[in-house]
Amino acid sequence: MKCVIINGKVFDPSQQSEKKLNLVIEKGKILALEEKYTPQKSEKIFDANGLHVFPGFIDGYAHCGEPGFEYKEDLRSFSQAANKAGYTSVCCTPKTSPVNDNASTNAYIISRAKEIGLVDVFPIAALTKNHEAKQMADIGDLSQSGAVALSHLYTAETLSSGMLRRAMEYALSFNLPILSTGYDKTLCVDGVMHEGNVSTRLGLKGMPALSEEILLSRDLMLAALTGSKLHVAHVSSAAGVDLIRKAKKQGVQVTAGVSAYHLFLTDEALCDYNPNSKIYPPLRTQRDQEALLAALNDGTLDIVVSNHEPHAVTDKEHGFDFSPFGASSIDVASLIVFTLVKEKKLSLKRALDALTASPARIYGLKGKGSLQVGANADICLIDLDEEYTLQSTHFASRSRNAPQKEWRLQGKVKGVFKAGHHVCEQ
pLDDT digits (tens, 9 = 90+) for 386-415: 999 988 788 899 988 888 767 899 999 999
Return the biggest CA–CA distance within the chain.
Answer: 67
Task: Please name the residues in contact with 119: beta carbons below 8 A apart, sequence gap of 6 or more.
Answer: 78, 79, 82, 83, 87, 88, 89, 90, 113, 418
Domains defined along the chain, listed by start:
3-52+376-425 (2.30.40.10), 56-363 (3.20.20.140)
| Total-model pTM | 0.97
What is the CB neighbour count within 10 angstroms for residue 314?
8
The pLDDT score that the predictor gives to residue 310 is 96
The pLDDT score that the predictor gives to residue 405 is 65
The pLDDT score that the predictor gives to residue 297 is 98
Contact 6, 46 (CB under 8 A): yes
Bin 251: left if φ > 0, else alpha if -120 < ψ < 50, else beta: left
Tell me which residue of 350, 328, 335 sits closest to 395, measured CA to CA. Answer: 328
342 vs 320: CA distance, rounded Å: 33
Q: What DSSP state is assigned to residue 332?
A: T
The pLDDT score that the predictor gives to residue 426 is 80
pLDDT under 50 in the chain at which residues? none
Single-letter residue type at 247: A
The pLDDT score that the predictor gives to residue 392 is 78
Task: Please name the residues in contact with 382: beta carbons below 8 A apart, sequence gap of 6 or more.
Answer: 51, 52, 54, 86, 338, 411, 412, 413, 414
The pLDDT score that the predictor gives to residue 147 is 98
The pLDDT score that the predictor gives to residue 154 is 86
